[in-house]
Amino acid sequence: MDNDKAWYVFRYYSHLMNEQERAANRHLAGTIKATHGRSDAGAQTEARSGPRHLREMLSDEAQVLDLASGGFQAFVLRAGERIMRDHQEKIALNCCPQCGRLARTPTARQCGFCRHDWHNRITNSKETFPSPE
C-alpha cells in the first residue's frame, strides 16, 4: 500500500482500528507530545520520564509496544494496511475520475493534483454517473 492511501485510510477510517492499534496510537501521541515531534524508539524511552499527564498515555503492553516500535509513520502504514485488508468492503477510496489519484477527503469533488472538478456528477460508491440535464 502506498503512503498516501495508508494515511487516507488511517485518517478517515480510524474507527476501524482494533484495541491494540488504538492503544499504540495513544502511546505514540503521548511520545510525540513529550518529545516535541519524535516517535522513534529512543523518543519512546525518553517519554517515560516526561510529564505525568503524558506518561499516562504510554503503554507497557508488549503487543502495543511492538506496533509502535517503528515510530508513527511505520505505525500508520501497518494500521492502514490492516484496516484495508480486513475491512475492504467498508472503505470507499475517493479517486479522481480523470487522473485516478486519491482525492484529499472522502467527499472531495476536485482533484488536488490535476485540478479536475466533478461537482456536477452524482456518485455512488462503485461508479460515477453524469448528472441528468
Q: What is the pTM of this model?
A: 0.84
Tell me how many domains the chain contains.
2
Residues 20 and 56 in one domain: yes
Tell me: the pLDDT tens digits for 91-131?
999 999 999 999 999 999 999 999 999 998 765 544 444 44
Strands 128-130 and 121-123: antiparallel
Owning domain of residue 72? 3-90
Task: Please tell me whether residues 7 and 67 are part of one structural domain.
Answer: yes
Shared domain check, 111 and 48: no
What confidence tens digit (pLDDT) does each residue in 45-88 have?
Answer: 999 999 999 999 999 999 999 999 999 999 999 999 999 999 99
Q: What is the dihedral of CA 51, 55, 57, 62, to 10 degrees?
A: 160
